[in-house]
Amino acid sequence: MSADSATSSGKSTVAAGNVIPARQLTALSGEPVAIPDPGKLVHLQFRRFAGCPICNLHLRSFVQRSGEITSAGIREIVVFHSPAEELRKYQSDLPFTLIGDPGKQLYRQFGVEPALRSMLSPRLWPTMPRVLWNALRTALGPKHRLAPLNPAGGLLGLPADFLIATDGTVIAAKYGKHAYDQWSVDQLLARTQPTRQQRS
């Protein structure tokens, strides 16, 4: 198990080396989504709610480098605890497979839980000026999107990241300790290097 693959809450979690059972989900677009994907690595991201300024700031970096991610053989699947009608407002901004899980069934299966520290951790504070600027720019932009004040599923969600091989083996996992504690694109790509070396 890698150091970043477990929570400290004692709840059941998914760790590096685990093999997850195959499952089929339905994307926001209506397409069936198989996890694991038989042809690609899957980066399964658990985010917070649709319109979350913290999540939006993070996901913008993934959108900007989506070509690199695709070239590395990775399929991005992003899960939000929002109903489909809310998530569709942001669908055009995210060139990834989006999953709405308002009942948080998938969150529970992967041990992704909310916590008060998601918003109160001092580790989050250095990021907040960028988050607030991004929220202001979004609100004043052509689509005039305001972050919801009372989102479905609440404000206290924590992020989580899982890199899953084609056979269902979890290559790496991370449970965030606050709302902006997740893999960067560079950290994700670094975790795929052993897999790419084995293929070459």
Q: What is the pLDDT of residues 150-168, one digit of tens each?
A: 667 777 889 999 999 999 9
Query: What is the amino acid identity at position 21?
Result: P
| More confident position, 126 or 1 | 126
Per-residue pLDDT band at 114 (split at 50, 70, 90): confident
Q: Domains in the chain, ordered, with CATH?
A: 33-199 (3.40.30.10)
State yes or no: pLDDT of 63 exceeds 50: yes
Tell which phi-psi region holds residue 73, choosing left (phi > 0), alpha (psi between -120 and 50) or beta: left
pTM: predicted TM-score of the whole model, two decimal places: 0.83
Backbone dihedral angles phi then psi of residue 78, each to the nearest 5 degrees:
-115, 125
Q: What DSSP assignment string belongs to the chain?
A: --TTS--SS------TT-BPPPEEEE-TTS-EEEES-SSSEEEEEE---TT-HHHHHHHHHHHHTHHHHHHTTEEEEEEESS-HHHHGGGGGG--SEEEE-TT-HHHHHTT----THHHH-TTTGGGHHHHHHHHHHHHHSTT-PPPPSS-TT-S----EEEEE-TTSBEEEEEE-SSTT-S--HHHHHHHHHHHHHHH-
